Amino acid sequence: MRVLVLGGTGFAGRAVAEQAARRGDEVTLFNRGRRGGASLVGDRLASDGLKALETGEWDAVVDTWSADGQAVRRTAELLRGRAGHYTYISSRSVYRWLTPGPLSEAAALVEETEPGYAGDKLRGERGAAAFGGPVLLARAGLILGPYEDVGRLPWWLNRIARGGPTLAPGPRELPLQYIDVRDLAAFVLDAAAARLDGPYNLVSEPGHTTMGELLETANEVTGGHAELRWTGPEVIVAKGVEPWTQLPIWFPPGPEQEFMNTAEVGPAVRAGMRCRPVRETVVDTWSWLRSLGQPAPQRDDRPRVGLDPAVERELLGE
């Protein structure tokens, strides 16, 4: 296919571009050119920022934009009639927070006026409809894997690699749902070829792994230097630790954890989504981190994650 990736040098877009190239697709990248790797250069927030896209035809477009939804609308309108399929990498954040699970594609959405990331993603979905052809709304859950620029799995890997007594937020058997970025990319490209239309929850099946398996695998992969100390969620919450940000990936048992980890993914599985084992994600992410020779990239529009070492020592009674 002739694939146009809007972005293509960060996390999800980079995985899509690389996988498309490995498949033999003809890949065009459109971005601001700040990290290199742009075939076409433009700033979607500038008045003439889409000029480079005024000509050209593609079989598939993959749009990873997560800011102003009007930028998606303008791009989709411009490409209307010149591309066969449009994918917008959305998010499960478009669902109304704490909607009881299991969360299907028919669940209630946030209001279109919702501020912040959730609202931006929903407005992006609405904007993509201007394409006028088949539009896949890829509502991804937690995305992990190589190139991660939010820092969740990288933080855990680096912390566990340092070794010593290490806070492990319990319970150990807490189920987790996520998707490896490469599995997301594979589904998106297959869906474009099949001209799939509409929303799909893209995250592993419930129970794909657990907090215990994730952290114990990370410890093994990084050398086994950490002494994981499983700590009850009530102790962690009482200390005022903020789940998800100070302790990435983790929510204590309750409505938040269920909302994040009980999505219905039957439509995506039937359409061909496959999720690799957690060990492969951990091994490959650690290998990528070690290859960098510098700190992992960090998006400037997301808060930094991780627990203060002093707070961790207090929780461990040291």
Going residue by residue through the chain (318 aa), what tens digit of pLDDT does each one get? 999 999 888 999 999 999 999 999 999 999 998 877 789 999 999 999 999 999 999 999 999 999 989 999 999 999 999 999 999 999 999 999 999 989 999 999 999 999 999 999 999 999 999 999 999 999 999 999 999 999 999 999 999 999 999 999 999 999 999 999 999 999 999 999 999 999 999 999 998 999 999 999 999 999 999 999 999 999 999 999 999 999 999 999 999 999 999 999 999 999 999 999 999 999 999 999 999 988 888 888 888 999 999 999 999 997
Q: How many CB atoms lie within 10 A of CB 270?
A: 8
At 297 the pLDDT is 84
At 295 the pLDDT is 84
Q: How far apart are CA 277 and CA 204, in angstroms?
A: 10
At 4 the pLDDT is 98
At 316 the pLDDT is 96
Q: 139 and 88 in contact (C-beta within 8 Å)? A: no
Q: How many CB atoms lie within 10 A of CB 298?
A: 14
Buried b (16+ CB within 10 A) or exposed e, 301-312: eeeebbbeeeeb
Q: How far apart are CA 46 and CA 252, in angstroms?
A: 42
Pairing of strands 164-169, 226-231: parallel
With 0.85 as the threshold, say if the pTM is over it.
Answer: yes
H or E, element range at 233: helix 233-238
Structure tokens at 127: 């904007």
CATH code of the domain occupying 2-143+179-202: 3.40.50.720
At 169 the pLDDT is 98
Any idea of the CA torsion for 213, 217, 219, 223, to the nearest 10 degrees?
Answer: 160
Q: Classify residue 100 by its DSSP letter.
A: -
At 104 the pLDDT is 97
Q: What stretch(es) of the chain map to CATH 3.40.50.720?
A: 2-143+179-202
Q: How far apart are CA 317 and CA 100, in angstroms?
A: 36
Please name the residues in contact with 156: beta carbons below 8 A apart, sequence gap of 6 or more: 214, 215, 218, 248, 249
At 193 the pLDDT is 98
CA 52 vs. chain centroid, Å, equals 27
